[in-house]
Structure 1
């Protein structure tokens, strides 16, 4: 009988392989180099620091998406069940434990953007009516700032953001604590732990959706106070799942040459994760296109400027590339059954997905500002988007790799462990 069809045995050593430390070192080096370049660029442009913090907001949203999105996908897995959870649980837990770094990333945005009013018009011009008279903002912007003042003000911004972080920290603490306790349980009480995780995850997923909607409104949507969208939070929710799943697959494939992932990461589960990527890609496509279609068909003067800001003045090129990177390429490639079962090809798709997530976030953020909307142009400041987010993501990745080494990569009391150690079928 071939090794492919033999029952596998879990190795005695379940810790992350030694080469993960090398990943962490390389990530730190990349982070330091790109951070230095970003600071230099900020001094080379007259408006360099403003662009620096715009790019910082992009880096915040990507790393925040990995940390909180990792927690959310972890809870979804507990609710849905399935043996794929045994593979993704430790990477997702490691992501969730990195939340402290996005919190630290958030503080400069809150101080620079809100306290000093450098990014958000509603913070820069609290007296919107007077600012409109002086032609500092448009009448439409003034009306929106006045109408939304009960929500869009510095006090609510700070309180909501830190309450949200505190709640997510609580869920992180409980999920990670109970995971270790289940591993240490001398009697694998499957119904007990399953019920315990399902109960907290049910509450957690609903709470996540509510809190994320508010954070996406405060941190990104309110950059343009005239814009509103009922699906904005849902788009961020799906986008986080899209990026997190791609990173989880990259992590597992990277770990698969060594034990213990080598033993449990079968082609069957790799194929299943690829199919889940395909599902997130389709859902992402649907939400983005549906939002555009509704506004296009309504043709309301209050709504269409947001899209016009992002397709005119050469931004149409960026929007077209966004469609290609974000949806067309992943969708087309993930249609292939063989691609989802070949590690090297799946790695390429997942890298494209993460890059596309960053590209899409840039398209969402940058045209909110007066000098950029309907006016895509080169400047040293624009280069910040190629340096600052890379530095922030690289440093976050180093922290993520550190967390990945803190715990065994396999949950030994998982009820699906025996199933995932079974031999694959001959047709798999």
Structure 2
């Protein structure tokens, strides 16, 4: 814990130096790190709510990861302050290019901050109620899980629209919000598979075939969300490219030239093809070590996908810089410090 706090302090100090030298670049880098780690905690909340409705051993196996993610939610909500307060440094519509007409009613700094506080307050409130219920009634589903899951999907969808899609306003996509909610859940599933497979004391038990079968269920769920994420991404691409409208196509053009095309190709390989090839094999899903590797692969690819969504909005080509890694690591250290007590308290079932 002491090392995590020291790492957080060191990374934050170096990031502050970068923020003093180039505030806009540092804040955009901060958005990249904060978005990833907040999305991981929000995804844990969404999956926990889903399990309240469906039941099943898969949720019990992933519960340690979810509890860790929910424990970090208040810290991630607090770390939203730079994004909400300094929106004019990050979003063109809040600074030098204010929107006109109906867009101005939605894209303005005060309303943007109010919506952000609303999303984060909803996450934290639901997480607190859910945690209290499951602690008091471990064998009974929470009665409020259905409306809470609907609210979670709407909050995750609009959060993606506000925090990421509006980076390139007035560009819009009807699938963007849903894709963001699925990405949150995918990152939480991948982290859960990595944790369950990588820590022997958290692996499921249940006889000679029970544990492998439960691991296979986790692998199947991860595969389903990988495919759902790919389906939404391809649907968005197909619809926008077929329409071929001049206000929509540049979003993809920016990501297909200037060096970004290599990241695009890498995502096709490591965010879809490689996980698909691995998770279609039964023996990989039933082995905890290979399942953990698949989870790690998906999680790293997810981090790259978030960079693919954010960075081309500001950079014409990839540029070597320590600002983005420092900001990402600073938020990561805070997340780990907040989640670690919950994770350390887990014991074999």
Q: Secondary structure at the match of 1:149?
A: helix
Instruction: Give the drift of 1:279.
Output: 0.7
Structure 1 equivalent of residue 327 of structure 2? 388
Q: Which of 12, 35, 38 is residue 61 of structure 1 equivalent to?
A: 35
Instruction: Give the drift of 1:90.
Output: 3.4
Check conservation: 1:255, 1:262, Cα contact below 8 A: no
Structure number with greater CO (CA < 8 Å, separation at least 6) is 1
Aligned length: 346
Instruction: Give the drift of 1:390.
Output: 2.5
* 2:122 paired with 1:167: yes
CA–CA separation in structure 1 for the residues paired with 2:101 and 2:273: 40
Structure 2 equivalent of residue 205 of structure 1? 149
Q: Which of 220, 224, 227 is residue 275 of structure 1 equivalent to?
A: 220
* 2:82 paired with 1:75: no
Structure 1 equivalent of residue 343 of structure 2? 404
CA–CA separation in structure 2 for the residues paired with 1:281 and 1:340: 14
CA–CA separation in structure 1 for the residues paired with 2:56 and 2:276: 24
Structure 2 equivalent of residue 151 of structure 1? 106
Instruction: Give the drift of 1:409.
Output: 6.5
CA–CA separation in structure 2 for the residues paired with 1:40 and 1:341: 47
Instruction: Give the drift of 1:30.
Output: 4.8
* 2:272 paired with 1:327: yes
Check conservation: 1:145, 1:225, Cα contact below 8 A: no
Q: Which runs of 5+ in 2 are unaligned?
A: none
Instruction: Give the drift of 1:89.
Output: 2.2
Instruction: Give the drift of 1:162.
Output: 1.1
**Deviation digits for residues 370-393 of structure 1, max 9, x if unmatched?**
xx1xx214243xx32233213312
CA–CA separation in structure 2 for the residues paired with 1:50 and 1:90: 37
Check conservation: 2:32, 2:328, Cα contact below 8 A: yes
Instruction: Give the drift of 1:405.
Output: 3.8
* 2:73 paired with 1:99: yes
The TM-score normalised by the length of structure 2 is 0.91
1:39-50 matches, cutoff 5 A: 39=16, 47=22, 49-50=23-24
1:178-197 matches, cutoff 5 A: 178-183=133-138, 193-194=140-141, 197=142
Instruction: Give the drift of 1:69.
Output: 1.1
Q: Which of 311, 319, 335 is residue 378 of structure 1 equivalent to?
A: 319
Q: Which has the greater radius of gyration? A: 1
Structure 2 equivalent of residue 119 of structure 1? 90
Instruction: Give the drift of 1:249.
Output: 1.5
Structure 2 equivalent of residue 298 of structure 1? 243
CA–CA separation in structure 1 for the residues paired with 2:79 and 2:348: 28
* 2:173 paired with 1:229: yes
CA–CA separation in structure 2 for the residues paired with 1:58 and 1:409: 35
The TM-score normalised by the length of structure 1 is 0.75
CA–CA separation in structure 2 for the residues paired with 1:316 and 1:33: 33
Instruction: Give the drift of 1:406.
Output: 5.0
Check conservation: 1:98, 1:400, Cα contact below 8 A: yes
Greater shift, 203-212 or 262-271, is seen at 262-271
CA–CA separation in structure 2 for the residues paired with 1:409 and 1:311: 47
Greater shift, 90-99 or 298-307, is seen at 90-99
Check conservation: 1:145, 1:152, Cα contact below 8 A: no
